[in-house]
Amino acid sequence: MKKLMITLFLAMMFVLLATPNAHGASDFRFVNETRERRFVEGIEHIAVKGQLTYNGETKSQHYNYLGVNTQTTDYNIVTVDNYQPFAWGMSNLLVQIDTAKQRFPHLDFVGGVNGDFYDINNTGRANQTHIVNFEVILRGSTGSSRTAVGFTDDGDMIYGTPSYLGQHINILNEYRELKMRIKVNRINALPQNDLEVSIYHDNVVSEIPDGYHKVVVKASDIKKDANDNRNYSKGVMESRTTEPVTVSERYFVLVGKMFQDENLITDKDTILVQELLGNGFENARFSMGAGQMLVQNGNVLHDQFESLPSTNMAHFRHPRTAIGQKSDGTIFFLVVDGRDILAGKNGVKYSELGELMKMHGAVVAFNLDGGGSSTMVLRNEESGEYDVLNTLSDGRIRSVSNGLIFAKGDLEPVFVQIPYPDTRTPYDAPTGLYMDESGIFHFLGNDENKHYTLKINGKEMYLTKETLPLLLAPGQYEIEVRVKGNETYSTSAYSETYTYNVHKADVQRILDLMRQMASGS
């Protein structure tokens, strides 16, 4: 009997010693204490308090989840920031949302999180790629192993390390259609033959000599990277010359024989010089840098976390922000509270964050900037203001570089490639503009191309429908509509102007009608 007991004991010890001190799903457990789930304008919000057990250690955790399927709904993910011309900068997420509303008045911003790591002590410049509406404001650092996440017009999330295909000159007409894209052959150096094109930035002190065809561009924005390179420049033509030129501050100059064509660039065109990205990021309308990959192919990357030095932040508990995508296309954010042990808000390590993301169905997930930067906001349906859902470890909303927001609405076609010279026939202008008694604006548009620009008192917005509720303050409004162009037909002229007068009583009547419709009476 004694020999049998010893044999059993040795067998048990062999099993225990042979079993790795592991970091697989079998070691992870989360027990909910409270779990509140709701939907706000189609976005799922889950607030959780519970006990997280991983690798034999149990800690109390609080976290918030926001998610929506961007492939099956009219939601998009938009990169937001508050960068000013010729500078980077930091601002809180609410300010960044306000800035995005000005850039995209046709989109409805509902909720989201803070974004990429950034230069917190100096410029506020993000650490990796930053794309807004196909404009590559920051291409990222060459040689960087950091990944980026991008979002396409079909609602998919792409990720990886962008490849760099060189600076390109994008010539955009007044409708933001792409007249021509030209590769830059040389930077701050003369073309070596008639086929080459050069760009001179304002960090060059030497004169560009006589005899070369030059387009002098007054910049509306120039962004510098960490190495003082100018990889994003935007502006309008100020002059065309073959005389000697010195590049003034906040200008750039295009040089090449092709610029002798006076129709190629006109004073109505916008000149956008930026890096052309590859490796899938050529299709990203919005993109930003991401930190450590947490989940890949549905598996938490524990081996990668363990290979990091013991001093790495991955091994310490902090507030965390993460983004993930499920197999059905749903994209979601997670923000875990931390730095308040007495309140049971312990924060998580990378391994624990990865397990939480996997628990919520992530097939791929990335860590974003965390600590005091971790912020999650969601619009309050009653007040219209934004509620901060997580506990801010700084005690206030930190100013950060950028963020990611779920925005509802259609994305306007931009950078549509058109023929040069432009031989397209314009669309017919819309007709039949009128306002019904419920404050709904109507017009007769184009059945084949339902893309419109609506102009109210000079301010334009994008539409994809021939009807639009207009709840306007008392006053007089001049309203016009035109059909946007595409590869085959050019943009129409504006419709005849419809004048709409709004009185205080009209506003109240429209509000009453909207309440009746909402109540079903």
- Position 10 scores a pLDDT of 35
If 0-12 CB within 10 Å is exposed, 13-18 middle and 19+ buried, where does residue 95 land?
A: middle
Mean pLDDT value across the chain: 92
| Whether residue 123 has pLDDT greater than 90 | yes
Rounded CA gap, 106 and 347, in Å? 37
- Position 262 scores a pLDDT of 96
Site of tokens 């010195």: 246
| Whether residue 12 has pLDDT greater than 80 | no
Among candidates 323, 332, 325, which has minimal Cα distance to 297?
325
Q: What is the DSSP string of 80-108?
A: EE-PPTT----B-HHHHHHHHHHH-TTSE
User: Hey, what domains does the chain have and what are their CATH numbers?
Assistant: 65-162+283-408 (no CATH), 166-275 (2.60.120), 425-519 (2.60.40.10)
How confident is the model over 264-281, as pLDDT tens digits?
Answer: 999 999 999 999 999 999
How confident is the model over 491-502, as pLDDT tens digits?
Answer: 999 999 999 999
| CA 483, chain centre distance (Å) | 27
> What is the share, in percent, of the chain residues with pLDDT greater than 70?
91
Rounded CA gap, 329 and 362, in Å? 10
Among 136-145, 226-235, 396-405, 472-481, which is the least confidently predicted range? 136-145
| Whether residue 85 has pLDDT greater than 90 | yes
Rounded CA gap, 104 and 107, in Å? 6
Q: Give whichever of 51-55, 140-144, 507-511 has the largest mean pLDDT.
A: 51-55
| Whether residue 383 has pLDDT greater than 80 | yes
Rounded CA gap, 493 and 426, in Å? 8
What are the Cα distances from residue 263, in Å, to 174, 240, 426? 13, 12, 19
- Cα Rg of the chain, angstroms: 27
| Whether residue 81 has pLDDT greater than 70 | yes
| Whether residue 14 has pLDDT greater than 60 | no
> Listing from the earlier edge strand, what are the strands of the sheet with 148-151?
135-138, 130-132, 286-289, 148-151, 157-160
Mean pLDDT of 126-130: 96
| Whether residue 25 has pLDDT greater than 80 | no
Q: Which two tokens mark 76?
A: 């998009």
Mean pLDDT of 217-237: 96
Q: How does residue 503 score in pLDDT terms, banded at 50, 70 and 90?
A: confident
If 0-12 CB within 10 Å is exposed, 13-18 middle and 19+ buried, where does residue 399 land?
A: middle
Mean pLDDT of 309-314: 92
Rounded CA gap, 421 and 196, in Å? 21
- In a 13 Å sphere around the CA of 236, the CA atoms on its Cβ side amount to 7
Q: How does residue 7 score in pLDDT terms, banded at 50, 70 and 90?
A: very low
Mean pLDDT of 20-31: 64
Q: 259: phi > 0 → left, psi -120 to 50 → alpha, else beta; which?
A: alpha
Rounded CA gap, 399 and 88, in Å? 12
What pTM does this model have? 0.91
SS3 35: strand
Question: Which letter does DSSP use for residue 371 in this model?
Answer: G
| Whether residue 94 has pLDDT greater than 70 | yes
- Position 140 scores a pLDDT of 87
What are the Cα distances from residue 398, in Å, to 93, 388, 389, 402? 8, 12, 14, 11
If 0-12 CB within 10 Å is exposed, 13-18 middle and 19+ buried, where does residue 132 land?
A: buried
Q: How does residue 177 score in pLDDT terms, banded at 50, 70 and 90?
A: very high
Among 145-154, 204-213, 357-366, 450-459, which is the least confidently predicted range? 145-154
Rounded CA gap, 19 and 466, in Å? 66
SS3 355: helix
- Position 505 scores a pLDDT of 72
Among candidates 134, 94, 9, which has minimal Cα distance to 403?
94
**How many C-beta atoms lie closer than 10 Å to residue 445's C-beta?**
26
Mean pLDDT of 360-372: 98
What are the Cα distances from residue 472, in Å, to 338, 381, 478, 510? 44, 20, 12, 10
**How many C-beta atoms lie closer than 10 Å to residue 83's C-beta?**
23
- Position 17 scores a pLDDT of 32
More confident residue, 438 or 95: 95
Q: 226: phi > 0 → left, psi -120 to 50 → alpha, else beta; which?
A: alpha
Q: Which two tokens mark 110?
A: 């509902």
Rounded CA gap, 277 and 197, in Å? 19
User: Judging by DSSP bridges, how do beta strands 135-138 and 130-132 pair with one another?
Assistant: antiparallel
